[in-house]
A and B are shown apart, each in its own frame.
Chain A
Amino acid sequence: AQSVAQPEDQVNVAEGNPLTVKCTYSVSGNPYLFWYVQYPNRGLQFLLKYITGDNLVKGSYGFEAEFNKSQTSFHLKKPSALVSDSALYFCAVTLPGERQLTFGSGTQLTVLP
């Protein structure tokens, strides 16, 4: 069975500072990894994915994530946080040939002005 852990329920960062939202995963096989963001009363918006290739993946709104196979991690990063980045972030995993996403518990990111 696959699982995703987001060890921090809440991350606070000052505007302009770099941000990191952590994600580790457990799967049997090669994972396909995703980050989604959810704003209040909205569905999930796709940010980025890792399928294969370069371990550093760039996505929407200046976000990027690094796939680390040895540490089974896929942390989300942004060099300079904006107040508008404040939202709930979810990491998710699936396997090749599947489309069932297994989500982490979510991390509430608050960017302080």
Chain B
Amino acid sequence: KAGVTQTPRYLIKTRGQQVTLSCSPISGHRSVSWYQQTPGQGLQFLFEYFSETQRNKGNFPGRFSGRQFSNSRSEMNVSTLELGDSALYLCASSLALAETYEQYFGPGTRLTVT
């Protein structure tokens, strides 16, 4: 079974621009979560989508948004990019069934904001 895929793998953007990242979960997984990883703040939860609905959101500004499609694929958007948004953005998928809480992570998208 194919793993979680994220596109693109690397991205360079300029401050003030916006960016969209994509995540395709493992087949059959209905929950998709997004995390930001930086050297200073570590791994931080952004949001989770389940059945096209945002279930939970971390402590990030409204510039960070996401959505999930009917096939469970998810996109994350960051508007008005700031230098501090440079990070590895990780997507994780889960079956979201009782006692199967483990999440499976994709390789991430490395975003550099200049």
- A residues at B contact (CB < 8 Å): 32, 34, 36, 41-46, 49, 51-52, 90, 94, 98-106
Contact = CB atoms under 8 A, between A and B. Distances in A.
Given A105-B42, A106-B42, A99 B105 contact: no
Most buried by B among A44, A99, A101, A102: A99
B45 A46 contact: no
Contacts of B4: 43
A101 B99 contact: no
Contacts of B101: 32, 34, 49, 51, 94, 99
Given A94-B101, A103-B44, 11 more contacts: A34-B101, A42-B107, A44-B90, A44-B92, A49-B102, A90-B43, A99-B31, A99-B50, A99-B55, A100-B48, A106-B43
Interface in B77-114: 90, 92, 94, 96, 99, 101-108
B103 A101 contact: yes
Overall SS of chain B's interface: strand
B48 A99 contact: yes
A100 B103 CA distance: 10
Nearest to A98: B56
Contacts, number: 59
Given A46-B104, A94-B101, A100 B45 contact: yes
Q: Contact size class for B?
A: 20 to 34
B8 interface: no
Nearest to B110: A41
B90 A99 contact: no
B94 A99 contact: yes
A100 B108 contact: no
Contacts of A94: 101
Nearest to B41: A105
Interface string B28-67: 0001010100000011110010100001101000000000
B99 A51 contact: yes
Contacts of A102: 45
